[in-house]
């Protein structure tokens, strides 16, 4: 090699090195051993033989107990609330939700669900009720048509449960006989916010005055619409405790903000959720979340919302101060990422929460199932929120400050079964992960509490 050529090669090497970007601070980091294997989950018996699929409905409270609701699709039996004590492994039945709403003996369609997570404030748990008895019309769930001798569903209630006395308080009822699908609380200002189903009316309840205000529909006619007026409703409100704003989305990808200072809702003009990475959707078509986010948490150190898009499983960060959505990582299981396909649950997964360390996201998400080397496929489409086939549930964690993703492994019940229809999560003070899953019991399928050692506990 002559000296002129050698100089050119050296110069190109220097230029090439300068073009390689430095490792960005926000890049994903992988652990050396990203997939740990099988996690075994213990099944707990709450003693409710009618328990049906439950969405959200959990909290690891400050007293160390795990509070949860088991739903019911029965026409005569309402959803039931329980508390699990990890130190004694005892489960206590706390109440019947129809009775808690003061509707016992009315022979109306019962309060069959709580579709929202509890929020703890001032020694009380705040939550809301929803309908669990449905009629299937055109393949879609609608509020159940009461048979002869029964009254229509009276509407979902905002409730409070006093941790010290064990008493329930009825705080208000949704208008128009609708359930309450989504709820969160501004604990600093004493306000509850709810979204009704199926129309999607935004409700604001001031606990100091008792004033309940309906701020209208912001997703066409919600899940009661047809064709151009149909939109899947948002399942998660994110509350900014600093200024009292409440953020939510709609199926078109708009990000909406309730403003505490004006007591009104506005649509953000300079940012939305219509991201190519999330996929392409027809918001007028049922059976998916469209461009809605699926679940969110508020992360105070950054004054930002961390959320997951349901169908694609992408984790994103939304910073309201700069009105910017930053897509971070695909938070699905490693097997799902490798398959390149969406997961089997049509709406995506709700089991997404910050752990007790205040920095680690915990996510319960599906993965593909293979038999004889081939992926087991389910339904191509569905008009409801349901599993389209067999799921292989995984626990995924994501450390926010270091941007470290880890698939902690697949989950199996202690009897060898795969958990199914998992859309809830709570993480105890010791790192134990709790959720609600379908289980086999006495020849029947019911939903009940299961627990597994989290990534920060020793595994037995």
Q: Which residues of 404-434 are buried (b: 16+ CB within 10 A; e: fewer)?
A: ebbbbbbbbbeeeebbbbbbbbbbbeebbbb
Beta bridge partners of 160: 126, 169
**Considering the domain boundaries, does residue 459 fall inside one?**
no
Which residue in this structure is represented by tokens 């992988």? Answer: 30
Beta bridge partners of 90: 85
**Considering the domain boundaries, does residue 39 fall inside one?**
yes
Q: Degrees (nearest 5) of the Cα angle 84, 85, 87?
A: 150
**Considering the domain boundaries, does residue 212 fall inside one?**
yes
The pLDDT of residue 27 is above 90: no
Contact between 366 and 359 (Cβ < 8 Å) = no
Q: Which one is predicted more confidently, 12 or 282?
A: 282
CB half-sphere exposure, 323, CA atoms < 13 A? 10
Phi-psi region of 227 (alpha: psi -120 to 50; beta: other; left: phi over 0): left
The stretch 283-303 carries a mean pLDDT of 97
**Considering the domain boundaries, does residue 129 fall inside one?**
yes
Per residue in 102-132, pLDDT tens? 999 999 999 999 999 999 999 999 999 999 9
The stretch 408-416 carries a mean pLDDT of 97
The span from the CA of 413 to the CA of 80, in Å, is 23
The pLDDT of residue 11 is above 60: no
pLDDT of residue 159: 99
Q: How many helices (H) and strands (E) does the chain have?
A: 3, 33
In eight-state DSSP terms, residue 10 is: H
- Least Cα distance to 245 among 255, 265, 260 occurs for 260
**Considering the domain boundaries, does residue 2 fall inside one?**
no
The first and second tokens of residue 171, run together, are: 């705080």
The span from the CA of 286 to the CA of 274, in Å, is 17
The stretch 261-277 carries a mean pLDDT of 97
The pLDDT of residue 15 is above 90: no
pLDDT of residue 14: 36
The number of folded domains in the chain is: 1
The stretch 78-92 carries a mean pLDDT of 98
The stretch 234-248 carries a mean pLDDT of 98
The span from the CA of 131 to the CA of 180, in Å, is 8
- Least Cα distance to 343 among 376, 316, 298 occurs for 376
Contact between 191 and 185 (Cβ < 8 Å) = yes
The stretch 44-53 carries a mean pLDDT of 98
pLDDT of residue 241: 98
pLDDT bin (cut points 50, 70, 90) of residue 30 is low
The pLDDT of residue 9 is above 90: no
The pLDDT of residue 60 is above 70: yes
The stretch 358-379 carries a mean pLDDT of 92
pLDDT of residue 214: 98
47-56, 334-343, 345-354, 417-426: least confident range: 334-343
pLDDT of residue 389: 87
pLDDT of residue 346: 92
CB atoms within 10 A of CB 106: 13
Per residue in 199-235, pLDDT tens? 999 999 999 999 999 999 999 999 999 999 999 999 9
**Considering the domain boundaries, does residue 14 fall inside one?**
no
0.75 exceeded by the pTM? yes
The pLDDT of residue 270 is above 90: yes
Query: CATH number, domain at 218?
Result: 2.120.10.80
Which residue in this structure is represented by tokens 């969406």? Answer: 342
CA distance between the termini of the chain: 63
Q: Which one is predicted more confidently, 285 or 26?
A: 285
Which residue in this structure is represented by tokens 């790192």? Answer: 431
Which residue in this structure is represented by tokens 């859309």? Answer: 423
Contact between 171 and 160 (Cβ < 8 Å) = yes
Average pLDDT of every residue of the chain: 92
What backbone torsions phi and psi does residue 98 show, to the nearest 5 degrees?
A: -65, -40
pLDDT bin (cut points 50, 70, 90) of residue 460 is very low
**Considering the domain boundaries, does residue 6 fall inside one?**
no
Out of 36-40, 261-265, 337-341, the most confident range is: 261-265
What does 195-244 look like in DSSP terms, one character per residue? EEETT-EEEEEETTT--EEEEEESBTBGGG--GGG--PPP---EE-TTT-
Contact between 455 and 408 (Cβ < 8 Å) = yes
The pLDDT of residue 32 is above 70: no
By CB atoms closer than 10 A (0-12, 13-18, 19+), residue 49 is exposed
The pLDDT of residue 91 is above 80: yes
pLDDT of residue 205: 98
**Considering the domain boundaries, does residue 268 fall inside one?**
yes
pLDDT of residue 7: 42
pLDDT of residue 379: 86
Q: Which one is predicted more confidently, 13 or 390?
A: 390
Q: Which residues of 201-214 are buried (b: 16+ CB within 10 A; e: fewer)?
A: bbbbbbbeeeebee
Beta bridge partners of 399: 360, 404
Which structural domain range is residue 410 located in?
26-452
pLDDT of residue 456: 67
């Amino acid at each position: 090699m002559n000296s002129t050529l050698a100089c050119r090669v050296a110069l190109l090497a220097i230029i090439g090195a300068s073009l390689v970007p430095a490792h960005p601070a926000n890049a994903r980091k992988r652990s050396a051993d990203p997939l740990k294997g099988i996690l075994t989950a213990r099944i707990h018996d709450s003693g409710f033989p009618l328990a049906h699929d439950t969405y959200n409905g959990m909290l690891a409270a400050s007293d160390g107990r795990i509070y949860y609701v088991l739903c019911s699709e029965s026409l005569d039996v309402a959803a039931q609330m329980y508390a699990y004590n990890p130190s004694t492994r005892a489960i206590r039945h706390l109440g019947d939700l129809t009775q808690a709403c003061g509707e016992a003996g009315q022979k109306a369609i019962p309060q069959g669900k709580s579709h929202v997570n509890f929020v703890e404030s001032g020694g009380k748990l705040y939550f809301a009720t929803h309908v669990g008895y449905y009629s299937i019309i055109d393949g879609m769930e609608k509020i159940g048509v009461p048979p002869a001798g029964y009254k229509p569903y009276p509407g979902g209630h905002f409730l409070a449960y006093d941790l010290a006395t064990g008493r329930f308080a009825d705080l208000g009822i949704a208008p128009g006989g609708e359930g309450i699908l989504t709820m969160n609380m501004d604990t600093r200002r004493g306000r509850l916010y709810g979204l009704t189903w199926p129309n999607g009316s935004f409700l604001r309840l001031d606990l100091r005055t008792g004033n309940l205000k309906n701020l209208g529909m912001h997703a066409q006619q919600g899940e009661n619409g047809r064709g151009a007026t149909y939109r899947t409703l948002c399942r998660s409100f994110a509350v900014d405790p600093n200024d009292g704003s409440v953020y939510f989305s709609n199926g078109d990808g708009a990000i909406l903000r309730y403003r505490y200072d004006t007591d009104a809702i506005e649509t953000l003009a300079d940012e939305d959720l219509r991201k190519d990475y999330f996929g392409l959707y027809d918001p007028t078509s049922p059976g998916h979340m469209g461009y809605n986010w699926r679940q969110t948490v508020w992360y105070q150190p950054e004054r930002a919302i961390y959320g997951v898009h349901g169908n694609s499983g992408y984790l994103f960060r939304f910073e309201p101060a700069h009105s910017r959505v930053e897509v971070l990582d695909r938070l699905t299981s490693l097997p799902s990422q490798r398959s390149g396909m969406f997961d089997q649950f049509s709406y995506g997964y709700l089991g997404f929460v910050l752990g007790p360390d205040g920095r680690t996201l915990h996510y319960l998400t599906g993965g593909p199932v293979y038999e004889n080397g081939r992926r087991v496929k389910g339904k191509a489409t569905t008009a409801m929120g349901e599993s389209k086939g067999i799921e292989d549930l995984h626990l995924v964690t994501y450390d926010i400050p270091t941007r470290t993703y880890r698939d902690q492994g697949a989950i199996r019940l202690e009897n060898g079964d795969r958990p199914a229809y998992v859309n809830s999560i709570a993480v105890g003070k010791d790192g134990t992960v709790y959720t609600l899953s379908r289980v086999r019991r006495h020849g029947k399928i019911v939903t009940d509490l299961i627990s597994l050692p989290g990534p920060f506990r020793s595994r037995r």
